[in-house]
Amino acid sequence: MSKTIALLNMKGGVGKTTSSINIATGLANKGNKVLLIDFDPQANSTDILLDIQQEEIFINDEVSKAINNFDATALKEILMKLNKYEYSEVFIDQMLFDPSIRQTYQTQVENLHIIPSRLELANAEKTIRNGNEAIHNRLWNVIKGVKNDYDYILIDCPPIINVLTINVLNAVDEIIAPIKIDRGAEKGLIMTIQELMVIATSYDLDILIRPLFTMVNNNNTQKRRLEVLRSFQNNIVRPIESQIRFQDKPVNESSFKNKLVINDTKANVGQDYRDVVDELIELWK
């Protein structure tokens, strides 16, 4: 039976997408059939897993001119150029409105498929929110059409609570919440838990949140915070014991080169993600 897991935290910069793609890859490396749904309009998981080589756009003359002229339309056109995939014409935002579309794509990783995202997902969220039809089950209608084809379905979520999040909670078995050990990230975790509790109560859902500690430094301050955070052990919050060490270079290099750090046998952080995958598989037996 397929298991559906979302990676979600209201706080950005905690390693959510990195964790999504590496956990998905690790599960696939074990021979499982895995689907990753990119549910973030920034589409970073899509770019990496489909190995899309796009022209790098930094703050060049075109961007500077648009910003200086306060030209939001021009900036949107620049962003759209970054999201023109020759790979496919079917994205998650389209499937939300037509669940009869059951299109997934093979990634650069064996056994790992993806439903890609793009910027239009942000507009889809507004359309769903302002529409007259049910707003909570569109993602579930997509998932139930493909779930029998996969052992695990992972959802990479944006760092925001909105209508898309309501759809996620109505479709998943549990949530992995990547968290970096600092005051802002802890606050983000508390806010995430509070918001999810409100949604779960509204839709009569049972939720289980598994915090995953990322970018961990081996110092006394973080050790103390980890002890406090790991004290959560209840029906709502159960932290993952394995943790991801802070190792900036291999993570950044893998991102720029569209590689997966979990497959880097020389990087400690790669071993950390392999340990997380082994722990999760044991927990989900």
Which pLDDT value is given to residue 253? 55
Nearest to 210 by CA among 2, 48, 7: 7
Residue 72 to residue 177: CA distance in whole angstroms: 33
Which pLDDT value is given to residue 9? 87
CA 205 to chain centre: 21
Residue 134 to residue 138: CA distance in whole angstroms: 8
Nearest to 79 by CA among 39, 121, 38, 37: 121
205 phi-psi bin (left φ>0, alpha ψ -120 to 50, beta other) = beta
Tokens, residue 276: 């997380």
Which pLDDT value is given to residue 128? 93
Sequence-ordered list of residues with C-beta below 8 angstroms from that of 229, at least 6 positions apart, any chain: 179, 181, 186, 211, 213, 239
Which pLDDT value is given to residue 87? 46
Instruction: Find where tokens 């021009």 sit.
Output: 74
Residue 189 to residue 194: CA distance in whole angstroms: 9
Which pLDDT value is given to residue 54? 46
Residue 132 to residue 151: CA distance in whole angstroms: 34
Tokens, residue 149: 């084809």
Q: How far is CA 261 from CA 48, 223, 252, 272, in A?
A: 12, 24, 9, 10
**Backbone phi, then psi, for 156, in 5-degree steps?**
-90, 110
Over the chain (285 residues), the average pLDDT of each successive run of 10 is 91 87 97 97 90 56 84 81 60 93 92 94 92 88 96 95 92 93 72 85 90 81 70 83 75 60 90 97 94
Q: What is the helix (H) or strand (E) element at residue 13, kind and residue range?
A: none
Provide the whole-model pTM: 0.84
For 230, counting Cβ atoms within 10 Å of its Cβ (0-12 exposed, 13-18 middle, 19+ buried), the class is middle
Which pLDDT value is given to residue 257? 52
Instruction: Find where tokens 């009569």 sit.
Output: 204
**Backbone phi, then psi, for 216, in 5-degree steps?**
-85, 130
Residue 248 to residue 215: CA distance in whole angstroms: 8
Residue 49 to residue 63: CA distance in whole angstroms: 27
Residue 230 to residue 211: CA distance in whole angstroms: 9
